[in-house]
Structure 1
Amino acid sequence: MKRLIIFFLILVIAVLIGVTVKIDPGYMLIAYRQWTAEMPLWFAVISLCFLFVLLHTLLIAWRSIKNFSAFYRIRRKLLRTHRPYILTRQGLFAFLHQDFKKAEKLLTKGLRHNRLAPINNLVLAAIAQEKHQPKKAEQAILAASRSASEEQMLINVLQARLFMQNNEWQSAFTLLQSLRAMEPENPLILNALKTVYIHLRQWHDLVKIFPLLRDLGEAEKDKDLLLAYCRGLNQLGQPDEALKMIVHFLNKKWDDALCELYGLITSSHAAKQVKTAEKWLKCEPKNPVLYLTLGRLANRSKEWQDAENYLMSSLQLSEHRDAYIELAFLYTAKSENEKALEMFHKANLLTD
């Protein structure tokens, strides 16, 4: 309705203007020196309006062209800036999918942007390590060192891992110890130290960092770590604590190596240790390692008949050296020397 009224008013005004122009059209005279121009007034008004609209349109078009030009320049700059990020992201994805050739190509292209150079060089060093190219890895690490001081911690951890790969364990140990002094709870440093401590059998140091690794969720995932930690506890005079950890883990998830260690640790509660192992037979009735463990525990408790039965059961399931050696010790303790010699002989044959 409103639009209709406006349209009607415009129509009335147009009619009135038309009638007025017809009665008295008027005229406009423009004179400049000897040049003159004469035209009806209505034509001059329409011409001025048209000229205004034309100039306004040209101004808008000019601004649009300027804005488009600026937009194009900004877009090119953004693309030029973001391309290295895109290349780096694609390179990292390729690295995670172990497509090292593609990752190396993409990350090398991404090096053109200085701010990304440290990240790219670090991943390139990791790729070189995976491809067993230590010289190339060292070069990438040096390049990362030159391009960014703030990533120095990452660079040092990677350098430590390179030491490990080259069997320079003492160098890795020294470097990581100095890094941990600066960042005691850094997960990257702790994980690298864990590997070094296990290799160098630094049980005392491993026991110290184990609570931190457990908080990070590493203990439950890493069986080798738990195995080394329990060995460390036993060597540091805490066998009961080690056994407690082993039982807790084996009750959740079976592992032969931990079961074997369980039988090698001497507890102050030997009878309880045997009963716990016997309960596992319900879940692992045909496990030679479990029978070997029970045989060792029975041997230690001087339960000769039980020890012999367990060890023979272990050998029936799988013939292995340790069971023969335990039987040899058993027969030696019972003064059955011929049987003991026979067991030692069989153990030596398996060794050879």
Structure 2
Amino acid sequence: MKVLYIAAVLALTTGIFAGLLMQQDPGYVLFSWGNTTVEMSLWVALILIFTLVVGVHLLLRLLSGIRQPLKVLNLFSAGNKDKRALKATVSGLLLLAEGQWRKSERLLKKSALRSGAPLINYLAAARAAHAQGHNEQTDLMLQKALESTPSAETAVAISQAEFQYERGQYEQCLASLLRLQKKNPKHRWVLKTLLKVYQKLGDWQALQTLYPQLLRYKVLTEAEGQQLQLKLYSELFQQGAQLAKEERISLLQNIWQKMPSELKSNEMLSEAYARALHASGAEGALEKFIAEKLRHQWSDNLVVIYGLLGSGTDSKKLLAQAEQWLKQYGDKPVLHLTLGRLSIRNQLWGKGADYLEASYKLQPMATTAAELSRLYSSMGRTSKSRFYYQACLDLAGYHLPELPMPKDAH
């Protein structure tokens, strides 16, 4: 405001001063060219010269503007629109990072065509739509991304597979991943996501086929690979035990035979295989497997399963084998439990009770107490049966509160 005020005062002062000079002496100017003469006052001539100079200056500026129209029409130029689109894209990406999905999607879609990289806009807009649960809009943005940049098929397909996995669409995700793997078998993200999808679908046989590639392309560390193998074969044994009877035994044995040798010494997998054989009714194969295993290495879990063998086996032979282990490995709670069960299976009631009592003394277990309670009840030894029944409840964590009973009321 001060500048405008000072300029107005100066202009008024200059005007007054020029007016006084014009009245005092208007001056005289004569222009002559051939037979033509032009006469005017000095002040009129000065005004005309000033006007001419200003006009020439403006004309030159105009001609310069015509040669460089971006400077004259900057607000309406394509370049400026591109700059605004780029700015909107950056803002949209920032909003996406901040979790403001709706605003981000709107800005990214609006600026896509002029951003210079529409693929980025559409992929980011698809992610924003996916975060809002707008599945149709997500798929539309992915389609636009592919149309804008056909060479980015892999990037679009990866985004699609990722969204399908997060939606829980594991079958569709698997189909997308298999197409990607066919084009690029070494793609680590694809392999790692395939691992997760197979686990979600419980397709352990497919995962078994995939496992060598996971190691070859270093998708898993050695430790992670070992853990995965333990999980993989445990699940394969469980699934095999659920097949039709005529198929499962041969399948289980085939899985064990093809399993890496270093895993066959793993107690967890040995137990999983033994339980699968037991569930399949393969008593003969199970007896041989456990006997072979215990010939070289002790296993509490396998000894317990050995005591569960029934039909299809020679109970006297089983008892004799277990007594050999007692000589070889000495007193062990689970071995005495198994000896007690096998003695009872041979109807050696007293011997069975002695073995079970010995097991309970070495290590009180709810299972042993339950077996003793059942045996003594059948033998008519009610007091001992009640004692071990209560011991079984206590060991199992069933601590009943003190309540009045009918006998106490009398």
TM-score under structure 1 normalisation? 0.49
More relative contact order, 1 or 2 (CA 8 Å, 6+ apart): 1
Q: TM-score, normalised by structure 2?
A: 0.43
